[in-house]
Chain A
């Protein structure tokens, strides 16, 4: 199993930037597969990777994700090709739809039909990156724009048809589309014991176009945190799960909430969201059961974490994505070293995976 790391977006506020660079450089040395930036309200995914490309040698650089409604498909292709060239081919383009609050609030674009928009957008980005003349007549995107002076144009620089495109998706139809058209999946909310709920649609989509799940890089976020005080760990991550179920997205559209619902936690997810929306955060946090926290994160004793990691690998996950843990860069690097070692050892070979315990 590969290890990848997420550097989010809030982190590269000027204050924390130097420490973050140190963390990523250490990850590069530790053989971490890839580092993923993110976009939120006020922070974007491109600048950090451009900088990190100049400071690292081997680590893959991915956007996890770029919001499609924030840029034209051509603009996204242009950033992707620049980052690809700057990093000597280490770039991976992760795309996602974000949510209506941000898309309609911040970018002023309609959010309706996100699945169809993501498909058309990805197709156009691919055309542009491949160096094809961009002519597209979709339901949501028409290029050149009708009734204007626009010309059908193509890249003015060398293309890169091999540039991998990852999609961040969660709903059954969008997962299926990921299997059809993407090179990788930027996954969240995957519970190893119910992995088929998310991975089967990807597999079906891949098979529908003559590919298989193996043709995609399946990457899933699951923080690794090791301690013998398991109860304390559960309490540490319970608020995070409550936030995911309650606060992400709107009351009508919370992709994470519905993904956990499909994994059998529907009643719990609904109750946590109800309490959160009613502004009773303590009750919302308390309503998250131990079982869900233990299933969603790779936390516990070393043996428990190794078991979680092996379960993810067995389910078909190629890469586990970790976040920085600790206040200082030194703490974060120490955690990453431990976690990378644990993940690699747990999944190296059948014999070594059985022997992992410390």
Chain B
């Protein structure tokens, strides 16, 4: 591993906020996921991201992708905190980092209590403190320190045990850490301690709902928003029938609002409420719970489908890319465009052309946090 290489890459990601990068969501471990990653790399895509739900883990597919690529960065988006010990998270990260020549990015998220307590049988209490301590432990281990930690949640070694304060035998890597956060306290933590943000449910015209908290956290740590690599998830769809596609994407949110989380804990609903859709989301959840899924889907405002994604003809997509860049987003993490590998590669190629176009334009001195208004979202805002 060449020393300093990851750090140089990190600097590029952070400082070059005049340009927009594209990352792609990996295709799980379906047939073709390696080809897709290879094609994405050839098209100049900056990073590929895996997810973790109740299927494949987030690290193994990245290790496989590392074997067939040379430059593309490899991120977990996200690895579930609580599914492994903090030390194992560090070890997984160091493992992929060692075999990818420093291309790995560790994205962490808390998941939710249903999955954590149900599927993993793990504790979920105090998720933000748990995230903070997990990151501190990971950094202790990856910096080559002997592991001794006295936190509110984790004590290492376990007190009064045969545990030994151990130093990692691995060489010391740099592991950039990203946090997936939606709520104010977690966003603030992201600004305070993380190298990057894994965002979703994001509207460019209300970016301040997220960025103000990240900036406040960054400030506490003597940093600024531009020190954080800001990444946002979005679907891209080239179409002339904006109404149909927007409606379809909106319908898809009915599950998110109605079924995800429990009655008391749905991080997504809270995030949309903070962006002006509180009444809509509550109503969708109510309809879903009553069993009327069709009505729930129909009740999701089309502006949510259009505003959180990039949907429309080429010119619209170009405008949406520009507004993402201008509001301070560094990287868009995009879902596969289309069904077949050929279609996905073609769609990605088309997207990369547009990204190159806007990145070569002269830039206004827009600063992150500016509320560069987006016409589609604003025009249709119901509240």
Q: Report whether B55 and A110 are in contact in the complex, using a CB–CB cutoff of 8 Å.
A: no
| Shortest CB distance B1–A (Å) | 4
| Shortest CB distance A48–B (Å) | 7
Q: Report whether B121 and A142 are in contact in the complex, using a CB–CB cutoff of 8 Å.
A: yes
Is B54 an interface residue, CB under 8 A from the partner?
yes
Contacts of A48 in B (CB 8 A): 63, 95, 99
B contacts, CB < 8 Å to A: 1, 28-29, 34, 52-57, 59-68, 80, 82-88, 90-92, 94-99, 101, 113-124, 141, 147, 154-158, 161-171, 173, 262, 264-265
Q: Report whether B87 and A46 are in contact in the complex, using a CB–CB cutoff of 8 Å.
A: no
Q: Report whether A110 and B169 are in contact in the complex, using a CB–CB cutoff of 8 Å.
A: no
| New contact pairs (19) apart from A74-B121, A150-B114, A151-B114, CB-CB < 8 Å | A42-B168, A42-B169, A43-B95, A49-B60, A54-B65, A70-B87, A75-B83, A78-B57, A78-B83, A79-B59, A81-B56, A82-B57, A102-B166, A107-B88, A108-B163, A134-B118, A149-B264, A153-B114, A253-B162
Find A17's partner among B82, B90, B99 (CB 8 Å cutoff): B99
Q: Report whether B121 and A15 are in contact in the complex, using a CB–CB cutoff of 8 Å.
A: no
A184 to B56, CA, bound (A): 23
Contacts of A141 in B (CB 8 A): 121
| Shortest CB distance A151–B (Å) | 4
Is A163 an interface residue, CB under 8 A from the partner?
no
A48 to B101, CA, bound (A): 13
Q: Mark A151-192, 1 if CB is under 8 A from B, else 0.
A: 111111100000000000000000000000000000000000
Contacts of B61 in A (CB 8 A): 50, 82, 86
Pull 18 A–B residue pairs with CB atoms less than 8 Å apart, ordered by A: A41-B167, A42-B168, A47-B92, A47-B96, A50-B66, A51-B66, A67-B88, A72-B83, A74-B120, A85-B29, A102-B164, A104-B158, A105-B156, A105-B163, A108-B155, A155-B54, A155-B55, A157-B28
| Shortest CB distance A156–B (Å) | 4
Q: Report whether B29 and A47 are in contact in the complex, using a CB–CB cutoff of 8 Å.
A: no
Is A109 an interface residue, CB under 8 A from the partner?
yes
Is A267 an interface residue, CB under 8 A from the partner?
no
Give the segment of A6-14, A200-208, A291-299 that binds chain B.
Answer: A6-14
Contacts of B120 in A (CB 8 A): 72, 74-75
Q: Report whether A79 and B60 are in contact in the complex, using a CB–CB cutoff of 8 Å.
A: yes
A158 to B348, CA, bound (A): 28
Contacts of B97 in A (CB 8 A): 14
Q: Report whether A43 and B170 are in contact in the complex, using a CB–CB cutoff of 8 Å.
A: yes
Q: Report whether B95 and A101 are in contact in the complex, using a CB–CB cutoff of 8 Å.
A: no
Q: Report whether A157 and B56 are in contact in the complex, using a CB–CB cutoff of 8 Å.
A: yes
| Shortest CB distance A118–B (Å) | 16
Contacts of B94 in A (CB 8 A): 42-44
Q: Report whether B64 and A86 are in contact in the complex, using a CB–CB cutoff of 8 Å.
A: yes
Find B63's partner among A50, A75, A252 (CB 8 Å cutoff): A50
Is A302 an interface residue, CB under 8 A from the partner?
no
| Shortest CB distance B343–A (Å) | 23
* Closest partner residue, chain A, to B121 (CB atom): A143
